[in-house]
């Protein structure tokens, strides 16, 4: 059953829960989930409301305009989603296959509410692994000189496929600020518990430091490297017996689970981003 | 700042979120938390609403009657709490001190919203450890013959101290059905991940079975042994090196953390019980 | 670099560590790992020794006989393995693909020291997913009447492929005692934290009980259903928001990780089974 | 039963396990635990051997000299411990009581193999809480001007009580390099998963960063702030609902468990420090 999902952020004041829920009720909407959070420091009110489209008095096409007016009247911003619209996701990958195959497997299992029409890689080595899935595999090499041109080709590819979201599934390249400006909707999996071990080779540095646990962090990408809003984090225990290769091996499991969890939250529209952080209504 | 907390369970139907939040808003209540859950199988709607008492138009003493009418009109049941009322809790304990001292320490730290005027034990050995806390320590031995009389003495003690809640903090006695009928509001910590290893000596049985993790379960007590609604569970990893004594030692840590977490949920009125299970709005 | 791995169980007595390590040293073996465990209740000594084959004075083919004599002289039993021998594993599967594809992916990644020449399924639905891997997919339907015949066909298939180990990767059939007698070397993944929820539909029963965590258990298969020696266990947290389908979805992640971890231990010859339990030297 | 514990680090070469275990066996020692680790990068061999003192042919007082010779002959360093010698530990604390009371409670429970004759605090507020334990509470205020003098007083106090180990149980002062030179044997609990959030106010910074998990790290103290060898780490999950105060509250539980676990390892002589890291033979 299709549901309508409203995400709204506005300045906090009394009566907001009542106003929003009454608006839905008077239009005959049956609320399935109503989640709210007040950030008292920031004086912001966050709301996520999900109700059945079936029986709702406002026609599907007209809801967006009404929501827009509602948000304006509250001095806030709203996003509207329908649960039967599966976003088109491009997965970026380098040589490591574990996150990519994990995501494609979950899509096949109907576990993730997304379509994956496009894979972008700076290597050609995972092409064959993707054969069984109906997906275009674009091999676009990238190096410091070619970066500008390569990113232009990638952006064209995203436009051509109407991509809504990019997932960096162990794509070992740093996207330029220009790229992020042109396409800002990106989720990355980083192989450390941020903010520890930002940047390259976190497992090597974790091993060197002698930590007893390693981590993985799924986050939205921003200009500042590995500093975007965190969606989910997980850790694995390690011991002195573990060499760097063992950290990498153990890390693969938390990387793909953390990325899949974060994507699940995102695709169910349970994530709200504000002030460089996230609220997860799950 | 004092808040009013309403917990309501009623048959599900459209408009409930709107109706409840509007009732609060029209009485000038400023909602701090609004959580809802619909159990679609049971067709039940659960709601927890928390708003500031300050500025609320209905006088404190009159809220209960209004809530009662509201709940009746919805065919449901409601509980009302004020965050500045700290329930009186009696802790029952046998010989092991770890959960008892943990709870008393947290009360001293203002971490748990409760008062502990009374400790009941079937042993005298922990009396001294409680000296620094202002609490009455009632040593009430209990055995199969004396059970009826002992339980009567205990019940009188609960009444005398106006006890609201009993916490079984490793009280290695089974309370009789009559006791539970007379005083049903009880939380227990059981030293296994229920439903595995109900009853006596769970660590011995866990060791014998060769499990790789042990658990602890905090639950409300019902007639059926270790079968009441579960509030919280946690586990610890063990290895073949661990003897039964190690399981007991490792278990102590998860027991006291699980019990403290469950009590925190309970005291913040975040737990709602229905159909033999709990919803935790935390 | 190839290593020799010796697993020995014998009655405990002083001097065993010295005797074993001296035997290796006098034959010019360079020990890489030496792990021991004494089960004081059972008065058993367990030892796992791993040393470099390179430079060892006893020829590869002659080691087994020497080990046999050594074990005999200690009144114990020994197993000998070489790290460059990858066992042939048959994966049994029904309709769910997540564990199967996870294992095949790990084999492709060189993460698991095994070969998978054979997949047995009572359904035909996963055949296509296995196409990219070089593996024979045997569709062998099974029902109560055909069980005897079907199991005979399966056993013939195991013999034909020289299978060393069977992995039940969500094979929703119970193997007969006769089958287990003919082929006893089997690892199963069960979707609960055993001993809770043995048997069918554990997630449904877990949901009904209102547990706050679900589990997965990898274990060797014995005659008694879900009662064999446990190799590894893991859990996931759930909340009142989770329906049975969510438990199943969350469970998939712990199932495949637990199975893969258990297999890793097994294939590295880090598991020793005794008295219905396991020691894991990892 | 008293056991002898030998910790030895020396350059790696073939035959070390054999040599050490044979030395114990020829002196009629019955080995209870034998753990080894080879750091291949550092070409170091680490060994921890534990055997029964009872029946051992070398007299208790003479073992140290023999061990010294043995270590010398291997070009390494050895430490010798007897399990019936409980080290004298001074606990340093500021205003927060949770780690202090947790440790004292565990000592009372005979869970930690140590004596605590001395508590040092730069505040007087926890004196009363320690009354029930037989321990001297030294209130030694410290500020930037008085630091040198205060540290001198503290050092005198450590000498007077024959202190073997200092535990910083939330002692919010940084000890001077001179102090560390005079008394280097110190364990600290830091309230973050190092290396993230070194230094002051880690929970505030964790909240600001929007992390989804917080951590605690027990480590040996070195000159470089929060950079010493890590013994144990743990994490707790947090959500957007958690304010800084909730992080602090949740953090208390992982702080005391992590500190207690690290101390348990240390006191059982299961920790070996080398190259800025630890091996934990547990």
Is the same domain home to B186 and B245?
yes
Question: What pLDDT sits at residue B27?
Answer: 97
Question: What pLDDT sits at residue A109?
Answer: 87
Note the pLDDT tens digit of each residue in D199-241: 999 999 999 999 999 999 999 999 998 999 999 999 999 999 9
CA distance C72 to D86: 42
Q: Is the pLDDT of residue C144 over 90?
A: no
Whether residue C241 and residue B37 make contact (CB cut-off 8 A), yes or no, is yes
A214 φ/ψ angles, rounded to the nearest 5 degrees: -115, 165
pLDDT band at D151 (very low <50, low <70, confident <90, very high): very high
Question: What pLDDT sits at residue D98?
Answer: 96
Is the same domain home to C46 and C142?
no
Question: What pLDDT sits at residue C228?
Answer: 97
Interface of C with B (CB under 8 A): 37, 40, 193-197, 209-213, 215, 229-235, 239-241, 243, 276-280
Q: Is the pLDDT of residue B207 over 90?
A: yes
Final residue of a structural domain among B82, B107, B124:
B82
% of residues, chain B, pLDDT over 70: 100
Closest Cα of chain B to D228: distance in Å?
A: 26
Closest Cα of chain A to D266: distance in Å?
A: 15
Is the same domain home to C104 and C37?
no
**Residue from the list A14, A16, A31 with its beta carbon closest to the beta carbon of B17:** A31
Domain count, chain D: 2
Question: What pLDDT sits at residue D132?
Answer: 84
Q: Is the pLDDT of residue A193 over 90?
A: yes
Please count the other Cβ atoms lying within 10 Å of the Cβ belonging to residue C224: 9
Q: Which two tokens stand for residue B223?
A: 């007639």
CA distance C162 to C117: 9
Closest Cα of chain C to D96: distance in Å?
A: 31
Region B214-228: mean pLDDT is: 96
Across the B:D interface, residue pairs with CB atoms under 8 Å apart total 32
Region C26-37: mean pLDDT is: 94
Closest Cα of chain D to A129: distance in Å?
A: 33
**Residue from the list C37, C196, C241 with its beta carbon closest to the beta carbon of B196:** C196
Residues of A forming the active site: 226
Final residue of a structural domain among D37, D57, D82:
D82
Is the same domain home to B94 and B190?
yes
If you average pLDDT over every residue of chain A, what do you get?
96
Whether residue B22 and residue A22 make contact (CB cut-off 8 A), yes or no, is yes
The residue annotated as part of the active site, out of C39, C223, C226, C246, is C226
Region C13-28: mean pLDDT is: 95
Tell me if residue C87 falls in helix, strand or coil.
coil
Is the same domain home to B111 and B51?
no
Is the same domain home to D78 and D99?
no
Is the same domain home to A137 and A94?
yes
- CB contacts, 8 Å: A268 with chain C: none
B101 φ/ψ angles, rounded to the nearest 5 degrees: -65, -35
Is the same domain home to C69 and C120?
no
B104 φ/ψ angles, rounded to the nearest 5 degrees: -65, -40
Closest Cα of chain A to B13: distance in Å?
A: 8
Residues B4/A8, Cβ–Cβ less than 8 Å: no
pLDDT band at C182 (very low <50, low <70, confident <90, very high): very high
Q: Is the pLDDT of residue B131 over 90?
A: no
Determine the residue of chain D that is closest to B281 in CA distance. Answer: D241
Is the same domain home to A118 and A63?
no
Region A125-142: mean pLDDT is: 93
Whether residue A212 and residue D197 make contact (CB cut-off 8 A), yes or no, is no
- CB contacts, 8 Å: D229 with chain A: 210
Question: What pLDDT sits at residue C113?
Answer: 96
Question: What pLDDT sits at residue B144?
Answer: 87
Region B146-168: mean pLDDT is: 97
Whether residue C14 and residue D31 make contact (CB cut-off 8 A), yes or no, is yes
pLDDT band at B223 (very low <50, low <70, confident <90, very high): very high
| Cα separation values, B46 from A281, B63, C31, Å | 17, 19, 62
Cα Rg of chain A, angstroms: 21
Interface of D with B (CB under 8 A): 97-98, 101, 105, 108-109, 111, 128-129, 131-132, 241, 249, 252-253, 257, 260, 282
Least confident range from A131-145, A238-252, C179-193, D70-84: namely A131-145
- CB contacts, 8 Å: B33 with chain A: 36
Residue D201, domain CATH: 3.40.50.170
% of residues, chain B, pLDDT over 90: 95
CA distance B196 to C193: 8
Q: Is the pLDDT of residue C138 over 90?
A: yes
Is the same domain home to C116 and C67?
no
Final residue of a structural domain among C82, C114, C134:
C82
% of residues, chain C, pLDDT over 70: 100
What predicted TM-score, i.e. pTM, was given to this entire model? 0.96
Q: What residues are paired with C34 via a beta bridge?
A: C49
| Residue of D12, D18, D213 to mutate, testing the C interface (most C Cβ within 10 Å of its Cβ) | D18
Specify the DSSP element, H or E, that contains A70: helix A60-73
- CB contacts, 8 Å: C170 with chain A: none
Determine the residue of chain C that is closest to B227 in CA distance. Answer: C209
Q: State the residue range of the domain holding D238.
A: 88-280
| Cis peptide bond upstream of C195, omega within 30 | yes
Q: Is the pLDDT of residue B242 over 90?
A: yes
Whether B226 is a known active-site residue: answer yes
pLDDT band at B175 (very low <50, low <70, confident <90, very high): very high
For chain B, the farthest-separated pair of C-alpha atoms sits apart, in whole angstroms, at 63
Region A59-77: mean pLDDT is: 97
Region A234-242: mean pLDDT is: 96
Is the same domain home to D244 and D154?
yes
Is the same domain home to B73 and B94?
no
Region A188-206: mean pLDDT is: 96
Q: Is the pLDDT of residue C109 over 90?
A: no
Residue B35, domain CATH: 3.30.70.260
Helix axes A98-108, A244-267, angle to 10 degrees: 30
């Amino acid at each position: 059953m299709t549901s309508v999902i409203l995400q709204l952020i506005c300045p906090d004041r009394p009566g907001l829960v009542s106003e929003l829920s009454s608006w839905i009720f008077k239009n005959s909407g049956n609320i399935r989930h109503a989640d709210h959070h007040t950030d008292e420091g920031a004086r912001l009110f966050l709301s996520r409301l999900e109700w059945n489209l079936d029986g709702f008095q406002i026609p599907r096409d007209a809801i967006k305009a009404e929501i827009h007016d509602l948000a304006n009247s509250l001095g806030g911003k709203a996003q509207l989603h329908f649960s039967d619209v599966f976003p088109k996701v491009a997965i970026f990958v380098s040589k490591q296959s574990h996150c990519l195959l994990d995501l494609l497997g979950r899509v096949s299992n109907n576990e993730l509410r997304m379509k994956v029409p496009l894979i972008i890689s700076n290597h050609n080595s995972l092409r064959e692994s993707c054969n069984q899935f109906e997906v275009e595999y674009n091999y676009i090499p990238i190096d410091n000189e070619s970066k500008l041109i390569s990113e232009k080709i990638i952006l064209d590819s995203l436009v051509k496929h109407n991509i809504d979201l990019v997932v960096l599934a162990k794509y070992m390249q740093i996207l330029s600020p220009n790229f992020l400006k042109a396409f800002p909707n990106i989720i990355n999996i980083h192989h450390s518990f941020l903010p520890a071990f930002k940047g390259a080779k976190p497992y090597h540095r974790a091993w060197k430091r002698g930590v007893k646990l390693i981590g993985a962090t799924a986050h939205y990408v921003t200009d500042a490297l590995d500093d975007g809003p965190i969606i989910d984090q997980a850790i694995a225990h390690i011991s002195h017996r573990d060499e760097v290769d063992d950290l990498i091996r153990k890390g693969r499991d938390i990387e793909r689970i953390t990325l899949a969890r974060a994507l699940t939250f995102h695709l169910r529209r349970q994530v709200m981003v504000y002030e460089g952080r996230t609220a997860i209504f799950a």
